[in-house]
Amino acid sequence: MEILAFGVVPDERPLLEQAFRQRQFAVRCLDVFLHRDTAPLAAGYEVISVSVNARLDAEVLRILADGGTRMIAQRATGFNNIALDTAAELGMTVARVSYYSPYAVAEFAWTLALAVNRRVAHAARRTRDFDFRLDGMMGRDMHGRTAGVIGTGKIGEAFTRIAHGFGMRLLGWDVARNPACEELGMEYAELPRLLQDADLVSLHVPLVPETHHLIDREALRTMKDDALLINSSRGGLIDSEALVEELRGGRFAGVGLDVYEAEEGLFFLDRSLEVMRDDVLARLMTFTNVLVTSHQAYYTRDAVTQIVDTTVSNIEDYVAGRTSANVLVSPGVP
């Protein structure tokens, strides 16, 4: 069986090809992402694999089903981009990667936090021009300050352990408490109190209807004027327009964003020779206390290898008629 893989980036390709070859599958890798216009390329492929920013709405799923696709293996954890009800209606199997290295994302969230706190990107631009002044470069110690961790699952726990290593006070918010975080001294609090007390707020919750714009205008105004805000989870957790307005008011010591709510069609692509048509993103980029990266928090060799291996295992399960916790929807499986 040959698998068609969409959205394969150059660094990922050899890992993907090796994993499929070792498990006796052929794979055809495409660098284009799956959406309405590229979906017809899957015609004749029973199984496809897609990247994190694939659009799998009802229209795309119907195009895939009409072309003979019966199984979709997403190389990502989040599945807010998939119309699961439509997939079930069409009798398709959809699987995801429910777990990979939480350290990749947690460590990158801290990379963003330290970079915006200590103005690393701005300093690098200055020194490249042989400007070695320290004006405007003053940061703050993390030790003794309060970290507010929104979402204390595996990634949030890894982030918390690093914060504990810095000697920070720990506040957490989640629908369920994590005993491992409590053992580190984390106190769980209601969201408004966490936002009000935290010097650093980091987001580690999935994007579901209940968490869309969790950090809205009111939440942003609850935060300290000199707080750090970090999002390495999903862009839709933050109301980007409201964030721009708060930044224009001179608020926040630093904001680090590895994700953006309208990143589809932008992230993972080279748009350097084009006019930026997204006014909100363009305005975010103008603030010297904002650092935007291209959804790369997960992008370590360790994590990508785990993602690829799990993806191949999901396809093996499909071929063998097995199911697992990674299956989101499948004929006969509730």
Tell me if 245 sits within 8 A of 217, measured CB to CB: yes
Tell me if 297 sits within 8 A of 310, measured CB to CB: no
253 vs 199: CA distance, rounded Å: 9
Helix, strand, coil share (%) of the chain residues, nearest 5:
35, 15, 45
Per residue in 16-60, pLDDT (tens digit) is: 999 999 999 999 999 999 999 999 999 999 999 999 889 999 999
What is the structure's pLDDT at 281? Answer: 95
Which residue in 12, 75, 263, 283 is the catalytic one? Answer: 263
217 is catalytic: no
263 is catalytic: yes
**Can you list the domains of the chain with their CATH numbers?**
2-100+300-329 (3.40.50.720), 102-292 (3.40.50.720)
234 is catalytic: yes
223 vs 287: CA distance, rounded Å: 18
Which residue in 55, 119, 234, 283 is the catalytic one? Answer: 234
What does each of the 334 residues of the chain score in pLDDT, given as a tens digit? 999 999 999 999 999 999 999 999 999 999 999 999 999 999 999 999 999 889 999 999 999 999 999 999 999 998 888 999 999 999 999 999 998 999 999 999 999 999 999 999 999 999 999 999 999 999 999 999 999 999 999 999 999 999 999 999 999 999 999 999 999 999 999 999 999 999 999 999 999 999 999 999 999 999 999 999 999 999 999 999 999 999 999 999 999 999 999 998 888 888 888 888 899 999 999 999 999 999 999 999 999 999 999 999 999 999 999 999 999 999 865 5
pTM: 0.91
Q: At what angle do helices 301-320 and 13-22 cross, to 10 degrees?
A: 40
Residue 177, both tokens: 């408490």
Which residue in 96, 119, 251, 295 is the catalytic one? Answer: 295
The answer for residues whose C-beta is within 8 angstroms of residue 69's C-beta and 6 or more apart is: 42, 45, 46, 47, 48, 92
